[in-house]
Amino acid sequence: MINVGIIGATGYAGSELVRIISAHPDAQIKTLTSQSYAGKKYSEVYENYRHKDYICDEEDIEKMADECDVIFLALPHGVASKKVNENILSKTKIIDLGADFRLQNIETYENWYTTHYAKDILPEAIYGLCEINREKIKGKRIVANPGCYTSCSILSLYPLVKEKMIDLKTIIIDAKSGATGAGRGLSLANHYCELNESVKAYKVASHRHTPEIEEQLSYAAGEDVVLNFTPHLIPMDRGILATCYANLNKDYTYDDIRSAYEKYYKDEYFIRLTKEGTFPETKWVKGSNFVDIGFTIDKRTNRVIVIGALDNLFKGAAGQAVQNMNILFGLDEKTGIDFVPVFPA
């Protein structure tokens, strides 16, 4: 059994980790911590855990490193880099669900986020987008779990970028997320009366997932990618829908585009390509690790339009984190996360 520690277990991503690991056949929760609810029963925070005897412990990452085979960090940006050091990594593996180890360029990270406190560790971290970096993840001590918007956006565009089928200067991503993407902390913008019956763009031209998408697509392209990314908040609990646009480099057909996606994804269990004329919906992936991707060509404008959907708490956070754990420990990637999407929901 893999002994698991979870730091930040009472946030939405952390609670999804608890749900998944509690049913994982090859892993068990050794310790879960919460700064806000230390000493309380987990069921006092989430009533749906009344059948479990989990306790929210005080955080002691040194002790956890001695007792756990892997520690998941579900923390705000700027916190994980203060906790992870060589001593910790010499004893356990780290999967960070936050942003601290996603960007390899320190200057970019500090321009978009804050001071990085583990510059010596950062080069070792691998970006844990499993379908793309699977081989690089194996055997690593620290994995940076991708963001929710970024997972959807990168996977939606990766084959086209890799095959040089699109003009990299014309990429536009319009993405929409459910309210859990903003976290569990109290915020006026997330109050029911503020959120309900409304759709709004936020952090226009300044969202922190922008450089993450650009960096990973730049690696795929072999050249710098600069794009427009605009997120929107919509009145639903969970789910992300990303609509991506780009000019085609040639007069490609639908079958040409389809062949590119099948080249990279035909053997990827968790990526499902929709049939021609059908486009993903968030309800088709809710509560699952699946990413649904559909596409078409607008012949009038010579643009390809790619639409991707995933569950921001599952494939966009906890599910992918467990997929990374499975890879790290040599398990079948589907172990513990092969759920049929919840429908209706």
> Taking a C-beta distance cutoff of 8 angstroms, is the pair 263, 208 a contact?
no
d(CA 257, CA 316): 25
Provide the token pair at 271: 């990526």
DSSP 4-70: EEEESTTSHHHHHHHHHHHT-TTEEEEEEE-SSSTTSBHHHH-GGGTT---BEEPP-HHHHHHH-SE
**Catalytic option among 68, 130, 148, 152:** 148
d(CA 335, CA 328): 12
> Could you confirm whether 148 is annotated as catalytic?
yes
Please list, residue by residue across 33-59, b when 16 or more beta carbons sit within 10 angstroms of its beta carbon and e when fewer do: bbeebeeeebeebbeebeeeebbbbeb
Q: Which amino acids are annotated catalytic?
A: 148
